[in-house]
Structure 1
Amino acid sequence: MSLKFGTSGLRGLSTDLNGPAAAIYATAFAHYLMSSGQAKPGDPVLLGRDFRASSPDISAICAGALTRAGLTVLDCGPVPTPALALYGLEKRAAALMITGSHIPADRNGIKFYRPDGEIAKADEEAISTLATGLMAKPAGIDAMPGPAADHARQAEALFLARNTAILPAGALNGLKIGVYQHSTVARDLFIEVLAHYGAKVVALGRSVDFIPVDTEAVSQATIDRLKAWTAKHKLDAIVSADGDGDRPLVSDETGLPLRGDLLGLIAAQFVGASVAVTPVTSNSGLERQPDLSILRTRVGSPFVIEGMLKAVADGQTGVVGFEANGGTLTATDFTLNGTTLKALPTRDSFLPALAVLFLAARSHKPLSVLAAGFALPVALSDRIENFPLETSAALMRYLRSGADNLATFLAPIGTPESVSDIDGLRVTLMDRSVVHLRPSGNAPEMRCYAEAETADQAKRLLEQGLKCIRAFGQHYGSR
């Protein structure tokens, strides 16, 4: 099986997961919960899923395995991951989300939640060890589906209540907002929440087939659709999310998507945070923002959560986290609109989307003007798909093996000034532009990030970075 834990959960081909593997990992999770004292026989465990074709079958297999392991399964149906996590915290129950997030439809995965929130890297290691042991059993693991009580309405209602209390009544009056529905499980909730605040909402692009939307590297085809829709319907913004609804996509009035880390920054300022934890891939201009301390981590929500918990343990108050994909996490409670927004330490697409739309409504300024006002360096990213893991590993070994190798590789781009090795290689060049090379944590992809003072410079830097990666891959593959 080609299944592995990456930056957020277990991922692999759906054909590998849909069968005994799903039962093995669900059983391993149940055994881990009970052996570590986080659950006992009969306790509830939640199941959610996205709209991928393979997700219902994988969910049913997990339900059977969890039931046979002694837990009581509550089926929350197709639901955003943050809604499932919130319901889990409310019921103090562990949870599994069947989703491949933004990756292609032929892949899928499982996100795991303890009763107190998203699992950490140490939990992943323990679950993997137990799963390996189960795979070695001669009798194998039963992959038959099992029963689950329907709790979809309860999970959705709790999340809806949270998001309809964040802003004042009528906060989005006067805005005309499109919702790119595609196949995200957040599509109907977004429409309901935005309409609740008085926005005129236009539903766009609903799809029966699963469409992978990567909010950190929005495809040109998607951008073209967003631009066409904003022009046709005279929209102030378009809102969407990835497959499981934990990463936001917000475009301005021209259809151009806003950077995810900008959405996270706006959300942090909206709630009044004093500390923001974010990966090294987020915009380097964040450190120039007033009244907000930035703490950097490796890429992946487990690392952001670890950083947030450390900040809280160190006595910090008003702690949030966000990633370059826009997913925003809260480690502490905040008071908004006279109510308490409880901590939700998992990625959420709704808070940052509402924060930026509220800022636009309150300031009476277009989103493009608001975005430009933050004066962040222009940051772009893209990925090379179907880039073998072996090749990306070889590239990183080569670049890390000496300054001469790195300089030779980057010669067509610029001269390195400094290097960060927190996650991948983030190189600041002599002209202060940045190129960051990083293998995906859970897919055969190589990512490239670029920062520069102008859009043309950033685009050129990104294109050159991708060209250098492809050239290495072709050379390595021809050996």
Structure 2
Amino acid sequence: MFMAEAKKKQLFGTNGVRGVVGELMTPELVMKIAMAVGSMRPGTIAVGRDTRTSGPAFIEAAKAGLMAVGCNVVDCGILPTPGLQYLVKDHFDAGIVITASHNPGNYNGVKVIEPDGTEMGDENSILVEERVFSSSFAIKSWEEVASSRSAPDMFQEYIDGVVSKVPAGIGKGMTVAIDPGCGAAYRTTASILSDLGCRVLTLNAQPDGRFPARNPEPSEEGLAPLADLVKSVGAAFGVAHDGDADRAVFIDDKGRFVEENKEFALIADAVCHGKSGIIVTPVSSSRLIEQIGKRHACTVDYTAVGSIYVARRMRSLIEAGKSVIFGGEGNGGLIYPDHQFCRDGGMTAAMMVLLLSIKKQTLSSLVDDLPPSVMLKHKFHTDKAPAMIEVVSKKFSSDRINTIDGLRIDRDDAWALIRPSGTEPLVRLFIESQDETVAKAFEKEILDSISPILA
């Protein structure tokens, strides 16, 4: 007896549909996705976007598609993806965000938000795709075409929601520097931290979809001006976001980039204090998370890479009666289950203020006090991912292998993950060990094995 092969996503990647504007991403495709979503989730749909230059055209295409299938539309304007998710879970039947997150400015995309505020999962994303490919839409007659209205100030509800999760005035006397990167957080994170009592200085806080100062991806190199600002004004930290602000990354008080897994570990230490339960994270995350979990009688549950999988695993564990304390990814995308089940860069910025106020230490000293960890990362722009996975699988077959997502190799003193991206034609490689010599030796083994393929 033969089992049917599981259906795979064709348009949707790890986090929605993304592509180069004018190539994959066109107003026509956006309208079709919106018609498919509206046909599956009838009712009132919220839409929002980041600051990309193609955003206004694509948001209008989405609104047209939704109205054509009878959905009333509320346009929330420019706001972070977690901001729209926060609004959807309380007010709407679904949501659509026009964003390409951390991708460069020539990209755009679509994220679909379910009524509970989570991103649409694989099964329903495939159903959306099937409707798009077959043009199976519930188009309404002229009497039933719906309407649209603007709600440009609703994002304030999200700001208030984040601020309510930490003690009032917790940031009094603290200076912080913020770099929204000309993205969607330009109108939220500064307000959040100001409301917490912080003195706030900003950089790249104007909306500009050309991203003139740095790419939406908040890299160490791109954040050098933020590091200079932090040092020059004596700030407690600097925080930066990607294009749609579902992630937050930090610069410490010495101007050093805080590797995102260390950020995850520090905030997990605070969130899990005095609690026991489960931390949910992908196979790409540092073993630091396991070490921090053990301090607090917390275990780690691993998932495939992607916030969708982390958030849905958190929810399923809770529904099964388990205590889930925290979740997130080692890229600055952290999930707070008592707030909402999605990555939230604004909430993470607020949590850093809370962490420093509680610990009474500088961020640099907290980072330095973490257990040793050396994380090496590579990106390979290639379409030869299957061949790379195959050769690594054979080369390291005697090691402990995990295939939840890509290929993870576990050793007692190190681990590595080689994984194709779900949104771009590239392969990522992570290697970690407490010992730099061990990490680099393991790195060389892997690079030597795949170099003939990339030649």
TM-score range, shorter chain: 0.7 to 0.9
Deviation at 1:243, TM superposition (A): 0.4
Structure 2 residue aligned with 1:254: 254
What are the equivalent positions in structure 2 for 1:210-359 lying under 5 Å apart? 210=211, 211-215=214-218, 218=219, 220-272=220-272, 274-289=277-292, 290=295, 291-331=297-337, 333=338, 343-359=339-355
Q: Which runs of 5+ in 2 are unaligned?
A: 1-8, 140-145
Indicate whether 1:11 and 2:18 are aligned.
yes
More displaced 10-residue stretch of structure 1: 124-133 or 350-359 = 350-359
| 1:41-440 paired onto structure 2 within 5 Å | 43-118=43-118, 119-134=120-135, 148-154=148-154, 156-206=155-205, 208=208, 209-210=210-211, 211-215=214-218, 218=219, 220-272=220-272, 274-289=277-292, 290=295, 291-331=297-337, 333=338, 343-375=339-371, 377-384=373-380, 387-389=381-383, 391-400=384-393, 402=394, 405-406=395-396, 417-429=399-411, 432-440=413-421
Do 1:96 and 1:110's aligned partners in 2 also have CA atoms closer than 8 Å? yes
User: How far apart are the structure 2 equivalents of 1:399 and 1:269?
Assistant: 34
Provide the secondary structure at the position in 1 that maps to 2:171: coil
Amino acid aligned to 2:289: L
- For residues 189 and 328 of structure 1, what CA distance do their matches in structure 2 show? 17
Report if aligned partners of 1:49, 1:98 keep a CA contact under 8 Å in 2.
yes
Q: What amino acid does structure 1 have at the position aligned with 2:428?
A: R
Shift of 1:457: 6.0
1:246 aligned counterpart, secondary structure = coil
Change (3 A) 1:47 1:306: same
Deviation for aligned residue 1:376: 5.1
Q: 1:444 to 1:103 in 2, by over 3 A?
A: same
1:399/1:455 CA distance change after superposition, 3 Å = closer
Which whole-Å CA distance do the structure 2 matches of 1:3 and 1:255 have between them? 42
CA 1:452/1:98 → structure 2, altered by over 3 Å: closer, same or farther?
same
| TM-score (normalised: structure 2) | 0.86
**Is 1:453 paired with 2:407?**
no
Counterparts of 1:170 and 1:382, CA distance in 2 = 41
Deviations 1:206-251 (A, max 9, x none): 4632243335xx2x42243333222322222101111001011111
Query: What is the distance in 2 between the residues matched to 1:178 and 1:469?
Result: 43
Kindly provide the CA deviation profile for residues 182-202 of structure 1, in whole angstroms up to 9, marking residues without a partner as x. 222112311111122222211
Deviation at 1:350, TM superposition (A): 2.1
User: 2 CA distance for matches of 1:469 and 1:251?
Assistant: 35
Change (3 A) 1:116 1:223: closer
Q: What is the Cα deviation at residue 455 of structure 1?
A: 5.6
* CA spacing shift, 1:6–1:320, aligned 2, 3 Å: same
Q: Give, as a single letter, the amino acid of the residue that structure 2 aligns with 1:471.
A: S
Q: Which amino acid aligns with 2:165?
A: I
Query: Does the Cα contact within 8 Å between 2:392 and 2:449 map onto a contact in 1?
Result: no
* Kept after mapping to 2: 8 A contact 1:181/1:240: yes
Q: Unmatched 5+ residue regions in structure 1?
A: 34-38, 140-145, 334-342, 408-415
Aligned partners of 1:267 and 1:351 also within 8 Å: no
Q: Quick one: which amino acid aligns to residue 326 of structure 1?
A: G
* Offset from partner CA, 1:84-119 (integer Å, 9 cap, x none): 011001113200000000012111111101212321
Q: For residues 328 and 221 of structure 1, do their structure 2 counterparts lie closer, same or farther at Cα, with a shift above 3 Å needed? A: closer
Structure 1 residues 214 and 380: alpha-carbon distance in aligned structure 2, compared to 1, 3 A threshold: farther
CA-CA distance at 1:349 after TM superposition: 1.0
2:422 paired with 1:441:
yes
State how far apart, in whole Å, the 1-side matches of 2:241 and 2:198 are.
Answer: 18
Partners of 1:472 and 1:45 in 2: CA distance: 50
RMSD of aligned residue pairs (Cα, Å): 2.7
Q: Identity percentage over the alignment?
A: 23
Contact 1:377 1:451 in 2 (8 A): yes
1:28 to 27, 32, 36: 36
Structure 1 partner of 2:3: none
Q: 1:470 to 1:253 in 2, by over 3 A?
A: farther
CA distance in 2, matches of 1:92, 1:122: 21
